Amino acid sequence: MREPGRDKERLQHIVEAADIVLEHSKGMTFEMFTSDKLRYGAIVYYTMIIGEAGYMLSREFVEKYNEVPWGDIAGMRHHIVHGYYKVDNRVLWNIIKNDIAPLREQVQHYLDTIDWSQWTSQQTIK
Query: So which residues are the catalytic ones?
Result: 77, 82
Instruction: Quote the CA–CA distance of 112 and 2 in Å, as a whole number.
Output: 21
Instruction: Quote the CA–CA distance of 88 and 107 in Å, as a whole number.
Output: 26
17, 46 Cβ separation under 8 angstroms: yes
Q: What is the 3-state secondary structure (H, E, C) of 14-32?
A: HHHHHHHHHHHHCCCCHHH
Query: Beta strands of 1-126 (E only): which ranges?
Result: none
